[in-house]
Amino acid sequence: MEFKGLFDRLRAEVHVPEADGVRILDVPSVMNLRELGGYPTPFGPTRAHRYLRCGSTRCINQKDRAWLAAYGVTHVLDLRSQGESPQVTCPYARDRLVTWKNVSFYGMNLSDPQLIAAKGNLDYLSGGYLTMLGNHDAVCQIMQFLSDVPQKECVLFHCAAGMDRTGMLSMLLLGMVGVSRSDIVRDYLYSFGQMREVDRIVDTGEMPQPYTGSRLEARLATISGVYDTLMRAYGDVGSYLLACGVTEDELERLRRRMLA
């Protein structure tokens, strides 16, 4: 009951995208479950059934676990800190049929609404994201784990809400294979608005009226600023990953996993 109550509170705080059956997947007991497949790159579209991103898995039921297994999920990467008790609260940590790994990408849930309100949305989130990207050791551990996953198997990666830590890893995975800036922004914003609304913002640059409070506008500014800061510093995501300690061989394996 304690887990269920927390799950319900998280769902009340986190936007739940409207499932489209292709990129936004309808798995009711998993928050914010999405595909990284289907984004255009200069080398063809990103592959489906390679990476799924989501929020908390702590209340996943047996039916949805079976669905994800049939979908191809064999590896689970938990990005939460030890203070969030990942070994206890992620059921996959005790699943002998799944390879589970925990790498702490950041020490807290950045989307805690009280913290955002207290510290100011834009500066607070941007600072947290840049701190994550500055954690080269964690990035290197994450990419080494992902590079060892067999080519045709699927990884589910998650944090608490599937928005911030998960969003930064999605940005890196999409960016390293040449997904456009606009589609990286689009993938991030799907956590905060309906697909049609987000696509309109990204494609036209215009906020719908009335838009979802100031949330989408603030999040658009955040992801745009963080992505542009990374590009100014390193030129491209591949160069950033190499600077984190990822090897050329690991980077090549990671790219092959994502590209058709």
Q: Which amino acid is at 40?
A: P
Q: Is the pLDDT of residue 2 over 50?
A: no
Instruction: State the DSSP code for 49.
Output: S
For 119, the domain range is 2-258
Q: Is the pLDDT of residue 114 over 80?
A: no
**Edge-to-edge order in the sheet of strand 154-158:** 34-35, 51-54, 154-158, 73-78, 99-102
Query: What CATH number did the domain enclosing 46 receive?
Result: 3.90.190.10
Give me the pLDDT at residue 1, please: 40
Give me the pLDDT at residue 125, please: 87
Is the model more confident about 15 or about 131? 131
Stated pTM of the model: 0.89
How sure is the predictor about 202, in pLDDT bands with cuts at 50, 70 and 90? very high
Is the model more confident about 210 or about 44? 44
CA distance 125 to 222: 7
Q: Is the pLDDT of residue 3 over 60?
A: no
CA distance 93 to 122: 34
Q: What Cα–Cα distance (Å) separates residue 203 from each residue in 8, 195, 197, 198? A: 33, 12, 10, 8
Number of domain units in the chain = 1
Give me the pLDDT at residue 14, please: 56
Residue 226, sorted as left (phi over 0), alpha (psi -120 to 50) or beta, turns out to be alpha
Q: Is the pLDDT of residue 101 over 50?
A: yes
Task: Tell the burial category of 17 from Cβ atoms under 10 Å away from its Cβ (0-12, 13-18, 19+).
Answer: buried
pLDDT in tens, 12-60: 455 556 666 578 898 999 989 999 999 999 999 999 999 999 999 999 9
Please give the average per-residue pLDDT across 115-123, as a whole number: 58
Is the model more confident about 122 or about 83? 83
